[in-house]
Amino acid sequence: MKKLFILAFALAIATSAFAQKKTTADYSGIVENYDAATKTLVIKRKDKQGEFVITDTSEILKNNAKADASAIAAGQKADVEFWLEGPKKVVKKLKVSGEAAK
């Protein structure tokens, strides 16, 4: 019984440690659209576009200074670090620079 308890405890620790580590990827391009209501960001790169979701834990930087989602505008250069959560691409870190398209 004691061995079973130790095994279950070790498995629980290993599972929680694994669940917290998320593999991230990078994407760069130009902001095509940001919908504040759905917190959805579309970034265009050449003939492709990526759709990302911004959460409360997403870090947003504008010109290397901490900002909030209201700083995102179409036409800005964007560098995104994200992870996959099912079919969604969740933003971990977003860096935008430049002025909005007029």
pLDDT digits (tens, 9 = 90+) for 3-37: 655 655 555 555 555 555 789 999 999 999 999 99
Is 57 part of any domain? yes
88-97/77-85 β-pairing: antiparallel
The predicted structure's pLDDT at residue 102: 63
Is 8 part of any domain? no
Residue 49 CB contacts under 8 Å (≥ 6 apart), including other chains: 29, 32, 42, 43
Domain count, the chain: 1
- Taking the CA atoms of the chain, what radius of gyration do you get in angstroms? 18
Is 92 part of any domain? yes
Cα–Cα dist 85/102, whole Å: 34
Is 29 part of any domain? yes
Residue 66: domain span:
23-97
Q: What's the one-letter identity of residue 50? A: G
Q: Which CATH number do you get for residue 84? A: 2.40.50.320
What the block records as the tokens of 66 is: 């901490």
Is 2 part of any domain? no
Has this prediction a pTM greater than 0.85?
no
